[in-house]
Amino acid sequence: MRTRIARLIHAAPDELGAALTGFGLFFCLFCGYFMLRPIRETMGIQGGVQNLQWLFTATFVAMLLVVPLHGWLSAHVPRAKFVDWVYGFFALNLVVFAVAFRMNADDVWLARVFYVWLSVYNLFVISVAWSVMADAFDGEQARRLFAFIAAGASAGGLIGPTLGGLLIGVLGTSGLVGIAAVLLVLAVVAKTRLMHWRVVGGAGRPTAIASAPDDATRPVAGNPFAGFTLLLRSPYLLGISAFVLLLATTSTFLYFEQARLVAETFTDRAERVRVFSTIDVIVQTLAILSQLFLTGRVARRLGVRSLLTVVPVLVGLGFVALAMVPTFAVLAVVMVVRRAGEYAFVRPGREMLFTDVDAGVKYRAKNFIDTVVYRGGDAVSGWAKALIDSLGSAVFVALIGAVVAAVWAGMGYVLGRRHDRGLRRSRRGASPHDPHLSREAGP
């Protein structure tokens, strides 16, 4: 039975436990987050769609304040224990919010703080989790297993809003926040098991492709701003940053249009929560089916470049469709394609780009890209969207989105092709594709 399950997910028998643990870790993170996401979206609309860019800007500023602390912590805490500190801090935050919502759930400023906090929390905990995966599995294992591991995120994203919808009337907002805190603690348990396996069966084993000489029991050397300096030194990381900025821009354009059309189409707050929850369920269902039966096959046969290209192309076509028929129904389809495609293809492919780099890049530069660069793209594109709205129609916005998506597709193809070539060289014993990112280079 164990062998059959391993074969089904393209794992070797001794990798099955680690793959299931990675699946469980992401299930816990996304189940907790997606229980809270519909509440956050409703809070964002409650403050006024015209003010969303201010919330995006506040999120970016919060990121700038948190990233140096993250860098300082990674320089003083061993990698094997780093997640314990980060997730422990956020779990404590969740407990504080649970108490606050219990005392005054309708406070508008509490809602705004929670909106910004959850936006920061989401990117940090997911980025750190993928750093652990890139640390635990080597490049060849990642191509086979990351799609299944990412399916844990989609499963959690499917169960989370379902549980939230069932329990919100019984437990209230404070109760759902408390459950999210418990799930975050369970994710720490899964991480601990995975880092133990890393040494005997993962990227730390002697026979791993591009095996790492580093020691997970030591902190990641460097100053709190090392992620930024590593980024500036590497054209490869700058390319990934450009890819993320383009991703954030298309996502923000669609997000703002979604908020506007939902506010115009649905006037009741509970109805809006149900709409957001329904979209989440559809997105996660499509994503998990793709991750289980499609993503891994595409990555093995067509390479990472296919994972990073197909979704931007489809989103570009979606923007063209929106320009022709700017309705909520069309937007909902484009949003589902964009989000399901990101979970099923773009995110696993993006994380594969980090499997053959050193610990400094995985835990510092990667986190900087996933948080500051991403939210910076959100903030800038949010204000750009507001400016474009004041100058043109929804059709004009959609056409600009189509152009951005086309550039995003081109960047994805270039990065994916470079990674695919680097992995082939690693299999032949050659050095990684970028000397700035080689494991010998260090942070």
pLDDT in tens, 103-118: 887 777 788 888 888 8
Instruction: Return contacts of 117-121, CB within 8 angstroms, 24+ apart.
Output: 117/62, 117/93, 118/33, 118/36, 118/37, 118/40, 119/40, 119/55, 119/59, 119/375, 120/59, 120/62, 120/63, 120/66, 120/371, 120/375, 121/33, 121/90, 121/93
The more confidently predicted of residues 266 and 335 is 335
Distance CA 122, CA 412 (A): 23
Residue 91 lies in a domain: yes
Instruction: Return contacts of 211-217, CB within 8 angstroms, 24+ apart.
Output: 211/138, 212/358, 212/359, 212/439, 213/439, 213/440, 214/358, 214/359, 214/439, 216/78, 216/79, 216/80, 216/135, 216/359, 217/78, 217/79, 217/80
End-to-end CA distance of the chain: 43
Extract the tokens encoding 155. 């499963």
Q: What type of residue sits at position 45?
A: I
Extract the tokens encoding 46. 């409650």
Residue 198 has pLDDT above 90, yes or no: no
pLDDT in tens, 16-70: 999 999 999 999 999 999 888 877 777 666 555 566 677 778 888 887 788 777 7
**Lowest-confidence region among 85-89, 164-168, 270-274, 421-425:** 270-274
Residue 246 has pLDDT above 80, yes or no: yes
Residue 392 has pLDDT above 70, yes or no: no
Residue 29 lies in a domain: yes
Share of the chain above pLDDT 70, in %: 85
Residue 442 lies in a domain: no
Q: Give me the residue label for tokens 């300082």.
A: 72
Residue 1 has pLDDT above 60, yes or no: yes
Distance CA 40, CA 225 (A): 30
Contact 75, 227 (CB under 8 A): no
Q: What type of residue sits at position 67?
A: V
Neighbours of 53 (CB within 10 A): 21
Q: Is 434 helix (H, G, I), strand (E, B) or coil?
A: coil
Residue 294 lies in a domain: yes
Contact 188, 181 (CB under 8 A): no
CA max distance for the chain: 61
Of 440, 157, 130, whose CA–CA distance to 283 is shortest?
Answer: 157
pLDDT the model gives residue 179 = 93
Give the distance from CA 312 to its chain's centroid.
Answer: 16
Q: Catalogue the E-assigned strands of 343-396.
A: none
Q: Please report which confidence band the pLDDT of residue 314 belongs to, taking 50, 70 and 90 as the band edges.
A: very high
Distances 34 to 11, 56, 132, 158 between C-alpha atoms, Å? 28, 19, 21, 8
**Lowest-confidence region among 134-138, 304-308, 311-315:** 134-138
Residue 353 lies in a domain: yes
Residue 439 lies in a domain: no
Distance CA 412, CA 380 (A): 21
Mean pLDDT of 336-344: 89
Distance CA 262, CA 365 (A): 36
DSSP 8-state code for residue 428: T
Residue 358 lies in a domain: yes
Domain count, the chain: 1
Question: Whole domain around residue 176: which residue ranges?
Answer: 2-433
Residue 59 lies in a domain: yes
Contact 152, 27 (CB under 8 A): yes
**Lowest-confidence region among 46-50, 52-56, 183-187, 282-286:** 46-50
pLDDT the model gives residue 141 = 84
pLDDT the model gives residue 434 = 44
pLDDT the model gives residue 14 = 85
Q: What type of residue sits at position 317?
A: L
Torsion of CA 30, 284, 5, 25, to 10 degrees: -10
Q: How many residues does the chain have?
A: 443
Q: What angle do CA 266, 268, 270 make, to 5 degrees?
A: 110
At a CB cut-off of 8 Å and minimum separation 6, what does 433 contact?
Answer: 236, 356, 418, 419, 421, 422, 425
Distance CA 152, CA 29 (A): 9
Contact 135, 359 (CB under 8 A): yes
Residue 359 has pLDDT above 80, yes or no: no
CATH number at residue 59: 1.20.1250.20
pLDDT the model gives residue 247 = 92
Q: Give me the residue label for tokens 């800038």.
A: 380
For 178-212, the DSSP string reads HHHHHHHHHHHHHHHHHHHHHHHHSTTSTTSTT--
Phi, psi values for residue 217, rounded to 5°: -85, 0
At a CB cut-off of 8 Å and minimum separation 6, what does 142 contact?
Answer: 133, 134, 351, 352, 355
Distance CA 309, CA 293 (A): 19
Give the distance from CA 174 to its chain's centroid.
Answer: 25
Residue 345 has pLDDT above 60, yes or no: yes
